[in-house]
Amino acid sequence: MLFSILKFAAISAVTSLAIAIGLIVTQRPGTAKSSDDSGLDFTETLARGLEDVPATTPVQMRDGYALQIRRYGAAGRDVPLVVMVHGSGWHGMQFHALASALASEADVVVPDLRGHGAAPGRRGDVDYIGQYEDDLVDLITDQARAGQKVVMVGHSSGGGLVVRMAGGAHGAMVDRAVLLAPFLKHNAATTRRNSGGWARVLVRRVIGLSMLNAVGVRALNHLTIIQFDMPRAVLDGPLGHTATTAYSYRLNSSFAPRSDFLGDVAALPPFALVVGAQDEAFVAEAYAPLMREVTDAGQYHIVPDVGHLDIVDAPQTLGVIREAIDAVRQ
């Protein structure tokens, strides 16, 4: 009897492993797609002047990786530290105008997350699921003064990472959050199909790798599972070499809340969420009813006539961040 049970368990395990491997190997990344219409409007992003962008400086992470950051401000002893986390495919330079506007009110730190920017390490990859949380812990530990309040600002996937950070072991390091059109989960009511055409998810690979990770097999987590439709105007432009057009399973998993994303949402400190009414990737009016199911810590702002990328530089966003800074200084 025992032998039969063990035999059945072994056959089931081998069958599941074979199915997972089959799903993974039968779907490969395509040639990186680029077009004039990516689903996201990069017009304003490309038009921004970048002549006065500060150079990056390295901050050493626990594994020796040199995380590249830009610093703005250092205005005084009683100001908070504001950490800005960029979205998918791009890097911290997207926050230049916003960070500059806040430089007299806070110490502003803007990292290029590992796998991104001009010095990415391995572009589109990290070492393990959860490494971005460790990097943010190391960054805050290095940059924050003793007792300094911390406000985290995240856009798109960067907003999802702020939510993940809040729900993790070090969530108490964050005193307040500002979420700009955050990614919550692919199956959340807030997410449009394929993020409005911006993302191509290799679904069979995701399913197969999820099956392997469920039994502790992580050897294939470096494989690509999502590609981005980065506009040709970006790739051919002066910063095209800094764009990231695909993510591994482990990076993509690190750059979003956990599977129980509402559990991470419930752990958020006092926060404000700002989203454009014309957001191409997410459904603006779906955030408040979804997140209010698990938390009453948030305030929600829908900005008329603004899309996904342009919410970063919307005047309303600057005002909301200033309110967050004032709140932690009281």
Q: Print the domain residue range for 307.
A: 2-329
Angle 2-25/203-214 helices, nearest 10 degrees?
A: 150
pTM of the model: 0.93
Q: How confident is the model at residue 47 (pLDDT cuts 50, 70, 90)?
A: low
Residue 213, number of CB atoms within 10 A of its CB = 17
pLDDT of residue 330: 79
Cα 73-74-79 angle, rounded to 5 deg? 100
Beta-strand relationship, 107-112 and 81-85? parallel
CATH number reported for the structural domain that contains residue 294 in this entry:
3.40.50.1820
Q: Does the pLDDT at position 166 exceed 70? A: yes
pLDDT of residue 49: 62
Q: How many domains does the chain have?
A: 1
The alpha-helical segments, DSSP class H, found in 168-248 are: 194-197, 203-214, 232-235
- Spatial distance between the Cα atoms of 233 and 240, rounded to a whole number of angstroms: 8
Q: Are 177 and 202 in contact (CB under 8 A)?
A: no
Question: Residues in the chain, how many?
Answer: 330
Q: How confident is the model at residue 42 (pLDDT cuts 50, 70, 90)?
A: confident
pLDDT of residue 32: 56
Average pLDDT of 251-260? 97
Contacts of 38 (CB under 8 A, 6+ apart): 197, 198, 228, 229, 230, 231
CA atoms within 13 A on the CB side of 283: 16
pLDDT of residue 6: 57
Pick from 163, 2, 125, 141: which is nearest to 62 by CA?
A: 141
Burial of 55 (0-12, 13-18, 19+ CB in 10 A): exposed
pLDDT higher for 264 or 14? Answer: 264
Q: Are 295 and 289 in contact (CB under 8 A)?
A: no
